[in-house]
Structure 1
Amino acid sequence: MRTGLVLDVRTYGARGDGLALDSPAIAAALAAAHHAGGGIVLLPPGTYRSFSLRLPSRVTLAIEAGATLLAATPGPDGAYDLPEDRGPQLYQDFGHSHWHNSLIWAEDAEDIAILGRGLIDGTGLTRNGPGTPWSAQRGERPLSMATMTPADVARLEQDAAAMRGQGNKAIALARCRRATLEDLTIFRGGHFAVLASEVEDLTLAGLTIDSNRDGIDLDGVRRARVSRCRVNTPNDDAIVLKTSLALGRTACEDVTIEDCTVSGYDLGTLLDGTHGRTQQHAPDRDRVTGRIKLGTESNGDFRRISITNCRFERSRGLAIESVDGGTIEDVLAENLTMDEVTTAPLFLRLAARLRGPAGTQIGALRNIGIHGVAATGIDPRFAAIVAGLPGHAIEDVRLSDLDLRFDGALDGSTPLAPPELADAYPEPSMFGPTPAWGLWARHVRGLAAARLRFRRNGSDPRPPLLLEDAADARIAFDEDVAHRYHILHNSTT
């Protein structure tokens, strides 16, 4: 990259007054930096109203403190770039399948960056878009949406024709190499605040995201690090790894998520500091989301994933899900703190939604280590869950130093054994209240758990621990818990 070249967008005609359309001027500066061999395009303080911007190779877009890149509302003076015509995209929704219909997008670019302490305001973006045209439709939506009418669903999933000219992502990267996003604030990022698909050597650091749907989605990335990010997404996942078929069956490998905080506070209240709790449910009619997750899209494999020193606030817990044929293996999660857990604190699921081409087979979930989890305010309906399928066990799960505190207890009788629900969309609530209140594991081989501590308020008819079809399990509870609930140490089931 050529060093020392800094191009101010005002030199190219940008006004920065929040009224003029500045995307032509910004695009001209980006192109000039690229043709010069690389450089920095600077947005100084001001409000720059814009439609789609393409970020070319060897160019950095720097948004200074006091500068706002404002996503314009489509109208007489312009619209967003059209979604790519890439043929039928059968197995993932519209948002995953396109990149150009974004405020900032890059494709097949290298050595790119977007950084600075300025703001990207997605006021003109939409969070909507059609779901997958996958013909089977089983497992397409969470069971919590079963009572929604077609009109309810249509309000969330506009058809493809309605999306022409609309932008539904703040930043989208496809098949890029050596990309950095650092220190930005993103508000109302649309369907995705950040979507990175098949990106190699990706760094996301110090981002603050307060968004109306997904926060950071990494789809088939390799050698990626997400650090010091604060992501608030009450309506969907905060930081999520995926392996969809949007660009082919690509693995997600060598990813580190560290020192991040995710949450499900009311939209906008992370940025204003009030941490509002008015919203109780996400659009799927389950409680607010805001979590870290692997899956649900899992056509490809996941390998060598590390999640460390992260905090979950008013959100669903950690979810690791293979349901579309991929193998998830060699995952380490440690030193996690959770407060006000809106469903289950841990959800490991191997299942058979199999949203993919004919012949897609059940995948695998193995070699998972989760150590040092302190969770409070957990919804008492849901234990930590490890749930495979008959003949397809989750393998080699190691749990240690789990301190789980549940907010209340379940009234009434012990729930019946939940059905397998092999092809359902994976969510902890899919099973209803779990048959144990602390840890429920079914169809698992080689489960090792040590130093478990479960606490609750009130009396609960369920046992704290239930293992079903759990070969070679080794469980060691905290002394106090073992005494209180008459559980033997080092029991083998």
Structure 2
Amino acid sequence: MFQKSLVLIFLLLAGVTLRAQQAGVYNVKDFGASGDGVQLDSEAIHAAIDAASQAGGGTVLFPAGEYLSFSIRMKSNINLHLGAGATLVAANMDEHNGKYDDPEPNMWGDSLHYQDFGHSHFQNSLIWGENLVNISITGPGLIHGKGLQKWGNPRPGLGNKSIAMKKCRNVVLRDFSILHGGHFAIIATGVDNLTIDNLKIDTNRDAIDIDCCRHVRVSNCSLNSPNDDALVLKASYALGYAAPCENVTITNCAVFGFDEGTFLDGTYQTTQQVAPDKGVVTGRIKLGTESNGNFRNITISNCTFEHCRGLALETVDGSVLEDITVSNIVMKDILNAPFFFRLGSRMRGPEELPVGSFKRVLVDNVIVTASNPQYGSMLMGIPGHDVEDIVFSNIWIRVKGGAPASQALVEVPELENSYPDPQEFGDIPAWGFYMRHARNISMHHITLETEIPDARPAFILDDVKGVSFSDIRVVNQSEGPLFKLKDVENLDLQRVSDLDDRNEKEVKSLNL
């Protein structure tokens, strides 16, 4: 009787498993995964993926448990679903018998150095896919990149990314969390129709990199990355040509620079002072650095920044950056330039690429508090190549202030060919906005305040052609002038606080 009962239970369980698979759900435990965090489950996970793929597609389910794995190779029409209580753990090759897939060759990376190692290789990841369609990773579970490296791989077998997708189409990443994600928690390169929604990432380098992608929707994500960028759009040469990053919306997201791990555990600590590049803690939203392809048709809206760097828009490797809108943003405790808009000529790429352009950028409804008196906001082109057609409206910026009068005399270096970051330029002689090599700049309904009086000018304009200021309010500045001008054409000032007749004459006299 007992044996008959066991047989019956087995048949019932087998029937449940069969029905689940028939419904398109493939439980990794049915393929031998232990989920105990001790046994490697890589083979069982691949067996489930293969079974789903052979059936034309399906959901590979990770129920509650801890699944230790090396590289997981995605296939088309597969959904990896991390159930409640499920953790996928990146194994360490020094502790477990196995390794990550080797980084594939990429002549556009290693031999020519057009972008760094992490942007040039994808298969040395915990989860990766290439030339796939209709794939997704979903569920409330966690990816823990425990065994991943945060730098380039010094030897084969090491992994340095949690999720890498290259030349895929119709990709959805939704609802899960990532802790300690490696060099990139998520990197998507050459992906069309990408949706990233409701992710929580608390990581040791970049949270999300979107490189050479089109038709992208990023929403409802919370990203903590004190050691590198939180959310960055790039257009590198990793595909072997200058591919664009375009038609992107980023909305309802939050980026932070809290100590790693303290976002997901809810303690929100801020003891870390600098990032590994020796600058202040990172965690920002950025367009650029790698910028061979063009950036077009991009909106950033309804986002918050906290204890991190500010918003950076950069083109330095030949890309056209245009048609960008930024709206409804709150930045709290910004640690360097609240706005860093840069057109440069680093030109890391094929020799035939021309210097790029930077134009048609609208910024509206932004509140900023900034705590580092070394910086101000920076809008900078290079000689012969202006940033142009930029509008700031409805902006309130409160900075710590306190910089001495000597800082107002600092000459900002051009650094036409340098890496684009505010820290490269040293102390900034304006506490509000420093503009150089710019054209057609409009600023309306702007309030600038300092907590401590600051001896620097609120605005410095150098080689600016066509600039309109209206409804400008400056609070708590010390003896320094509101404006310092050099080679400025077509300046229009209307309703600027504390700019009486004497100061207006002074402004005009300073246009040297």
> Same fold per TM (> 0.5)?
yes
What per-residue deviation string (whole Å, max 9, x for no partner) do you get for residues 64-120 of structure 1?
110000000014510000110233522111100111100000111101000000000
Q: Is the 8 A contact 1:354 1:362 kept in 2?
A: yes
Higher mean Cα deviation, 353-362 or 185-194?
353-362
What per-residue deviation string (whole Å, max 9, x for no partner) do you get for residues 335-387 of structure 1?
11000101010000000111112233210000011111101133222111100
SS in 2 for 1:340: strand
Pairing 1:295-334 to 2, within 5 Å after superposition? 295-334=288-327
Match of 2:248 in 1: 255
Q: Is the 8 A contact 2:225 2:283 kept in 1?
A: yes
Q: Which residue of 129, 148, 151 maps to 1:128?
A: 151
Pairing 1:89-238 to 2, within 5 Å after superposition? 89=109, 90=112, 91-129=114-152, 162-238=154-230
Query: In structure 2, what is the Cα distance between the partners aligned to 1:57 and 1:83?
Result: 21
Unaligned ranges ≥5, structure 2: 1-20, 476-495
Task: Look up the equivalent residue of 2:131 and give its one-letter code.
Answer: D
Q: Which residue of 42, 45, 51 maps to 2:64?
A: 45
Query: In structure 2, what is the Cα distance between the partners aligned to 1:322 and 1:264?
Result: 24
* Change over 3 Å in CA distance of 1:477–1:383 after alignment to 2: farther
* Change over 3 Å in CA distance of 1:100–1:479 after alignment to 2: closer
Q: Is the 8 A contact 1:115 1:183 kept in 2?
A: yes
Match of 2:457 in 1: 463
What per-residue deviation string (whole Å, max 9, x for no partner) do you get for residues 404-452 of structure 1?
1002320242232212110111111222221211011111111011011
Q: Which residue of 341, 344, 357 maps to 1:348?
A: 341
Match of 1:86 in 2: 106
Query: In structure 2, what is the Cα distance between the partners aligned to 1:480 and 1:252?
Result: 37
* Change over 3 Å in CA distance of 1:69–1:428 after alignment to 2: same
Task: Look up the equivalent residue of 1:402 and give its one-letter code.
Answer: I
Q: Is the 8 A contact 1:344 1:378 kept in 2?
A: no
1:77 aligned to 2:100?
Answer: no
Q: Is the 8 A contact 2:145 2:178 kept in 1?
A: yes
Match of 1:278 in 2: 271
Pairing 1:354-433 to 2, within 5 Å after superposition? 354-413=347-406, 414-433=408-427
Q: CA deviation at 1:216?
A: 0.2
SS in 1 for 2:414: coil
Task: Look up the equivalent residue of 1:324 and give its one-letter code.
Answer: D
Pairing 1:441-456 to 2, within 5 Å after superposition? 441-456=435-450
Aligned residue pairs, count: 460
SS in 2 for 1:163: coil
Higher mean Cα deviation, 374-383 or 312-321?
374-383
SS in 1 for 2:312: strand
* Change over 3 Å in CA distance of 1:403–1:11 after alignment to 2: same
By relative contact order (CA 8 Å, sep 6+), the higher-ranking structure is 1
Task: Look up the equivalent residue of 2:459 and give its one-letter code.
Answer: L
Query: In structure 2, what is the Cα distance between the partners aligned to 1:341 and 1:88?
Result: 36
Query: In structure 2, what is the Cα distance between the partners aligned to 1:447 and 1:314?
Result: 28
Match of 2:49 in 1: 30
Query: In structure 2, what is the Cα distance between the partners aligned to 1:209 and 1:369?
Result: 29
Query: In structure 2, what is the Cα distance between the partners aligned to 1:33 and 1:456?
Result: 60
Higher mean Cα deviation, 255-264 or 409-418?
409-418
Unaligned ranges ≥5, structure 1: 130-159
Q: Is the 8 A contact 1:415 1:433 kept in 2?
A: no
Q: CA deviation at 1:483?
A: 2.5
Of structures 1 and 2, the larger Rg is shown by: 2
Query: In structure 2, what is the Cα distance between the partners aligned to 1:16 and 1:48?
Result: 5
* Change over 3 Å in CA distance of 1:220–1:427 after alignment to 2: same
Higher mean Cα deviation, 76-85 or 331-340?
76-85
Query: In structure 2, what is the Cα distance between the partners aligned to 1:475 and 1:459?
Result: 22
Query: In structure 2, what is the Cα distance between the partners aligned to 1:480 and 1:249?
Result: 43
Task: Look up the equivalent residue of 2:384 and give its one-letter code.
Answer: G
SS in 2 for 1:10: helix
Query: In structure 1, what is the Cα distance between the partners aligned to 2:251 and 2:189?
Result: 20
Query: In structure 2, what is the Cα distance between the partners aligned to 1:95 and 1:174?
Result: 13
Aligned-pair Cα RMSD in Å: 1.7
Query: In structure 2, what is the Cα distance between the partners aligned to 1:457 and 1:318?
Result: 22
* Change over 3 Å in CA distance of 1:479–1:236 after alignment to 2: closer
Q: Is the 8 A contact 1:439 1:465 kept in 2?
A: yes
Q: CA deviation at 1:296?
A: 0.5
Q: CA deviation at 1:485?
A: 6.0
Q: With structure 2 as the length reference, what TM-score do the two structures score?
A: 0.87
* Change over 3 Å in CA distance of 1:360–1:477 after alignment to 2: same
Q: Is the 8 A contact 2:404 2:456 kept in 1?
A: no
Q: With structure 1 as the length reference, what TM-score do the two structures score?
A: 0.91
Q: CA deviation at 1:3?
A: 8.8
Match of 2:431 in 1: 437
Query: In structure 2, what is the Cα distance between the partners aligned to 1:169 and 1:408?
Result: 40
What per-residue deviation string (whole Å, max 9, x for no partner) do you get for residues 37-74 of structure 1?
11100000000000000110001000011000000001
Q: Is the 8 A contact 1:381 1:409 kept in 2?
A: no
